[in-house]
Amino acid sequence: MQATSILLGIVIAVTAALVSGWLFRALLVAVTSGELRRSFRGAPVTASFGMLVILLYFVVAVLAPILAPFPERQVVGAQYLPWEAPYYLGTDNLGRDMLTRLIYGARNTVGIAFATTGLAFVVGSVLGLWAATVGGWIDQVLSRLVDALMAIPALIFSLLLLTIFGTSITTLILVIATIDATRVFRLARSVAQGIVVMDFIEAAKLRGEGVWRLISREILPNALAPLVAEFGLRFCFVFLAISALSFLGLGIQPPTADWGSMVRENATLINFGDVTPLLPAGAIALLTVAVNFVVDWQLHRASGLKE
C-alpha cells in the first residue's frame, strides 16, 4: 500500500512539474519578443520547469525576511513539534520554526554556493584562458599544478583543508572555490585551446594584437557558450559539495540556517517515520534538478547548432 501511494505521489509530482513548466513557458513566450522569444518557444518542458524553479528560489532568497513567519534563529516552541499551525512544518531539534529555517536556508545555502562558484569561475577561467593563449612555460607550470591538485579527490582534499583551516564560512568558500577553480581551469583551457588554433587567432597575432585584446575580444566571445553551461554544472557540484560537508557537520555551522545541516540535526526523526528532514534535502535536490534541466537544454542547443 505504501509503495502504491509513493508511486502515486511521484506521478502527481511529475505531472504538476510538467504542467507548471508548460504554463511558465507560455508566460515567457507571451512577455518576451524576438530572438529570446524564439529560444523560449523551443525550450523543452523540463527546461522551462527548471527556469521556473530557479526563479522561485531566487525570489524566496531575496525576500526571506518578509516571507518567513519567525526570525531565523529564534526558539519558538518545544522540540520536534508536529506539522500544525502556526508551525506549518513543525519545529526542529532546538524548537525553531522549520518553515522559517527552510526559507532562510534558500538565502544562506544557495547564496554561499553561488558566491563560491562565482569565485572559482572567475579565477579558473581567467587563468585557463590566459594559459591557453600564451602557452609556453606559464601554461606548463599552471597545468602541472592543476594536474597535481586534481589528482586528490575533491571531497577528501576539502576535508583535509578544512581540518587545517577550521570551519568558518570564509574558509569554506575559499577552500571549495580553490578546489573547483582547478576544474574550471581545465575546461576553460581546453575550450580556449580549440579556439587558439583557429586562423583568426593567427591573423590577430600577426596583426600585432596584445594578449588581453586576444583574450577579451577574440577568444572569450567564442568560449562564452560552453563556459556558461559549465557555470551551471559547476554550481550543482559546488552546491552538492557544500551540502554534503554541512551534512557531515563540517560545512556551514549552526546557528546559521542551512539545508545540509538541517538534515543532519533532525535526522533522528527519520527513524520514527517522520519525513521532515527530507524537506531540506528535497529543497537541495529540486534546485539541482532545475539547474541541470536548464544546462542540459543549453548544451543540447549548443551541440545542435554545431551540426
Partner 1 sequence: MAHVWRMIGQRLLLGLLTLFVISVVIFGATELLPGDLARELLGQSATPETLAALREQLGLNDPAPLRYWNWLTAALQGDFGISMGNKRPIADLIAARLGNTLFLAAYAAAMAVPLSLMLGVLAALWRNSIFDRAVNAMALTSISFPEFFVAYILIVWLAQSGVFPSMVRISSRTTTPDMLYMAFLPALTLTLVVTAHMMRMTRAAIINLLASPYIEMARLKGLSPLRIVLRHAVPNALAPIINVVALNLAYLITGVVVVEVVFVYPGLGQLMVDAVSNRDIAVVQAVALIFASAYVLLNLLADVLSTLSNPRLMHRR
Partner 2 sequence: MAKPVLLSMKDIHIDGRSGDDWLPIIKGVDLTLHKGEVLGLIGESGAGKSTLGLAAMGFVRDGCRISGGSINFDGIDLMAAPESDRRALRGKRIAYVAQSAAASFNPAHRLIDQYAETPVVHDVMSRDKAEADAVELYRRMQLPHPEEIGFRYPHQVSGGQLQRAMTAMAMACRPDLIIFDEPTTALDVTTQIEVLAAIRDIVAQFDTAAIYITHDLAVVAQMADRIKVLLRGDEVEEADTRTMLSAPQHDYTKTLWAVRELARPAQPPAAGTPVVSVKDITAGYGSTMVLHGVSFEVHKRRTVAVVGESGSGKSTVARVITGLLPPVSGEILFEGKALPPDYRRRTRDQLRQAQMIYQMADTALNPKLRLRELIGRPAQMYLGLRGKALTERIRDLLRLIELEPDAFIDRLPSELSGGQKQRIGIARALAAEPRFIICDEVTSALDQIVAEGILRLLEKVQDEFDLAYMFITHDLATVKAIADEVVVMQNGRVVEQGPKDEMFQPPHDPYTELLLSSVPEMDPDWLTRLLKERAAGRAGLNA
Interface residues with partner 1 (CB under 8 A) are 2-3, 6, 46, 147-149, 151-157, 159-165, 236, 240, 243-244, 247-250, 260, 263, 267, 270-271, 273, 275, 277-278, 281-282, 284-285, 288-289, 291-293, 296
Q: How far apart are CA 110 and CA 59, in angstroms?
A: 12
The answer to whether the Cα torsion of 191, 193, 199, 205 is positive or negative is positive
Say how many C-beta atoms besides its own lie within 10 A of residue 31's C-beta. Answer: 10
In the complex with partner 2, which residue's Cβ is closer, 89 or 220?
Answer: 220
Residue closer to partner 2, measured from CB, 69 or 221: 221
Rank residues 147 and 202 by Cβ distance to partner 1 and give the closer one.
147
Q: What residues from 11 to 70 belong to the interface with partner 2 (CB under 8 A)?
A: 42
Residue 43 or 98: which CB sits closer to partner 2? 43
Amino acid letter at 296?
Answer: D
Q: Give the residue from 291, 269, 295 showing the smallest Cα distance to 280.
A: 269
Q: Please state the closest distance from residue 154 (CB atom) to partner 1, in A.
A: 7
Distance, CA of 259 to CA of 80 (rounded, Å): 17
Who contacts 85 (Cβ-Cβ below 8 Å, separation ≥6)?
none
> What is the biggest distance separating any 2 CA atoms in the chain, rounded to whole angstroms?
74
**Nearest distance, CB of residue 213 and partner 1, angstroms:** 35
Task: Give the per-residue contact string, 207-236, with partner 2 (x = CB under 8 A; - = no).
Answer: xxx-------xx--xx--------------
Q: Stretches 26-34, 81-89, 197-205, 241-249: which one binds partner 2 (CB under 8 A)?
A: 197-205
34 binds, among partner 2, partner 1, none (CB under 5 to 8 A by kind): none
Query: CA 132 to CA 187: how far, in whole Å?
Result: 11
Q: Please provide the DSSP assignment of 76-123 as one string.
A: -SSTT--SBTTBTT-B-TTSBBHHHHHHHHIIIIIHHHHHHHHHHHHH
Q: Residue 206's binding partner, choosing from partner 1, partner 2, none, with beta-carbon cut-off 5 to 8 A by kind?
A: partner 2
Q: Measured from the CB atom, is 1 or 206 closer to partner 2?
A: 206
The strand pairing partners of 84, in sequence order, are 87
Instruction: Provide the minimum distance between the beta carbon of 211 and partner 2 in the complex, in angstroms, as a whole number.
Output: 11
Residues that bind partner 2 (CB under 8 A): 42, 198-200, 202-209, 217-218, 221-222, 307
